[in-house]
Amino acid sequence: MKLAARVSQVTPSITLAIAAKAKAMKAEGIDVCSFSAGEPDFDTPVHIKAAAKKALQEGKTKYGPASGEPKLREAIAKKLRTDNGLDYKAENVIVTNGGKHSLFNLMLAVIEPGDEVIIPAPYWLSYPEMVTLAGGISVIVPTSASTGYKITPEQLQKAITPKTKLFILNSPSNPTGMVYTPEEIKALAKVVVEADIFVVSDEIYEKIVYDGAQQLSIASLGEEIFNRTIISNGFAKAYSMTGWRIGYLAGPVDIIKATITIQSHSTSNVCTFAQYGAIAALEESQECVEQMRQAFAQRRQLMLERLNAIPGLSCPKPDGAFYLFPDISKTGLKSLEFCDALLQEQQVAVIPGVAFGADDNIRLSYATDMATIEKGMDRLEKFVKSRI
């Protein structure tokens, strides 16, 4: 059968592909150090699993509203009010099958053919692909280590055209780990409001920040920007619930309603009993989030020290998420070649920066144990030394 043209316009997710390859190699008995997919190595906290189990036992096994369990929508709205100072109600929230699905629903709901979406590079690899699948055009704005891989207000301003619909802001960032300061966020909000465009604020790494860095939601900076922001967030990273597939969007009611319509014809509701785990995640103790954050902080320190001690590699210190994004240009290799050879020769799995729009970098996730980090860094060091 002739496939739809849209399939050839996008490539399969390389983060998922490399993670799957590393897992398959491990299953074959190969000693792989995987720093590939951004997935916390911790199990989901016990109280969250218990709440889902209880819901399952109580027969929460039926269809629910496509928009999400009312109790979970309430709990998310409450979280956004308490943690982020955002005046949302349950009707401003849709529960989705993960952060990725949130963004996909949103793109389908708002993008019309030819609409432009501004995406600072390095970007999370699925953003441009989603824009393409929705019929829009990605306007990629390159940033560099000199600005901490952050888009400046001037760059944003310059990229705006009459066709601009959305600007995607992701702080803390995947893949760089950089966190925009409150002042930087304020300056970007001003440009968004003046240009009368909308901003998608991907806040999935909100809880994973270090050294006193502050994650500020752009929507909290006044009514005008609040009305022009759609927040995407989820449970995967903060609560180690990657496989549960539960995310959400929050924003103006008309936009949220449109995403509910789309979702009602695609996936319907998110797994009903799983949503009760998410309710427990929000309503019960947040100590587990802090414990995991502290573990990530130690791992970041170790991996960063080891990386920057390797002659030829350099990596700025990120304030958030669980990724390092070193520059590999001194090795003379482009990112794909680097990653293929590293996996082949040293059995270390990392993601080529080209997937994120930065071919002189690689992305390493340190959401893994210290012993794997030590071993992987020994191997990486050997690999880089053999190249320069």
Closer to ligand GLU by Cβ: residue 226 or 338: 338
Residue at 339: amino acid letter: C
Is residue 38 near ligand GLU by the rule CB under 6 A? Answer: yes
Is residue 15 near ligand GLU by the rule CB under 6 A? Answer: yes
User: Would you put residue 49 in left (φ > 0), alpha (ψ -120 to 50) or beta?
Assistant: alpha
Of 292, 332, 291, 293, the closest CA to residue 312 belongs to: 332
We find the least distance from the C-beta atom of residue 132 to ligand GLU, in angstroms, to be 16
Stretch that binds ligand GLU, among 10-18, 52-60, 65-73, 165-173 (CB under 6 A): 10-18
Cα gap 96→231, rounded to integer Å = 13
Task: Assign 80 to helix, strand or coil.
Answer: helix
We find the least distance from the C-beta atom of residue 345 to ligand GLU, in angstroms, to be 23
Stretch that binds ligand GLU, among 13-21, 104-112, 221-229, 340-348 (CB under 6 A): 13-21
We find the least distance from the C-beta atom of residue 13 to ligand GLU, in angstroms, to be 5
Q: Phi, psi at residue 204, to the nearest 5°?
A: -65, -25
CB 245 within 8 A of CB 101: yes
Closer to ligand GLU by Cβ: residue 79 or 100: 100
We find the least distance from the C-beta atom of residue 100 to ligand GLU, in angstroms, to be 5
Reported residue count of the chain is: 388
Stretch that binds ligand GLU, among 12-20, 184-192, 274-282, 342-350 (CB under 6 A): 12-20
Burial class of residue 265, CB neighbours in 10 A (0-12, 13-18, 19+): exposed
End-to-end Cα distance, the chain: 48
CB 80 within 8 A of CB 231: yes
Residues 6+ apart with CB under 8 A from 239: 44, 45, 48, 281, 288, 289
Closer to ligand GLU by Cβ: residue 15 or 217: 15
Closer to ligand GLU by Cβ: residue 124 or 273: 124
Indicate the DSSP class of residue 235. Answer: S
Alpha helices in 179-286 (DSSP H): 182-195, 223-226, 253-264, 272-283
Number of residues engaging ligand GLU in binding (CB under 6 A): 9
Closer to ligand GLU by Cβ: residue 35 or 276: 35
Of 18, 22, 32, 37, the one binding ligand GLU (CB under 6 A) is 37
Of 256, 202, 250, 191, the closest CA to residue 226 belongs to: 250
We find the least distance from the C-beta atom of residue 186 to ligand GLU, in angstroms, to be 27
Is residue 335 near ligand GLU by the rule CB under 6 A? Answer: no
Is residue 368 near ligand GLU by the rule CB under 6 A? Answer: no
Residues 103-162 that bind ligand GLU (CB under 6 A): 124, 126
Closer to ligand GLU by Cβ: residue 16 or 388: 16
User: Checking DSSP bridges between strand 348-349 and strand 33-34, what pairing results, if any?
Assistant: parallel
- Per-residue tokens: 18: 């490399």
We find the least distance from the C-beta atom of residue 104 to ligand GLU, in angstroms, to be 11
Of all residues in the shown chain, the one whose CB is closest to ligand GLU is: 38
Distance of CA 193 to the CA centre of its chain: 24
- Per-residue tokens: 27: 């299953």
We find the least distance from the C-beta atom of residue 365 to ligand GLU, in angstroms, to be 6
Closer to ligand GLU by Cβ: residue 88 or 322: 322
Alpha helices in 241-369 (DSSP H): 253-264, 272-283, 287-308, 335-346
CB 278 within 8 A of CB 266: no
Closer to ligand GLU by Cβ: residue 44 or 67: 44
Residues 168-227 that bind ligand GLU (CB under 6 A): 174
Beta bridge partners of 118: 139, 167
Is residue 228 near ligand GLU by the rule CB under 6 A? Answer: no
Is residue 16 near ligand GLU by the rule CB under 6 A? Answer: yes
Per-residue contact track with ligand GLU, 88 to 107, x per CB under 6 A?
------------x-------
Residues 158-177 that bind ligand GLU (CB under 6 A): 174
We find the least distance from the C-beta atom of residue 85 to ligand GLU, in angstroms, to be 26
Alpha helices in 114-161 (DSSP H): 126-133, 153-159
Residues that bind ligand GLU (CB under 6 A): 13, 15-16, 37-38, 100, 124, 126, 174
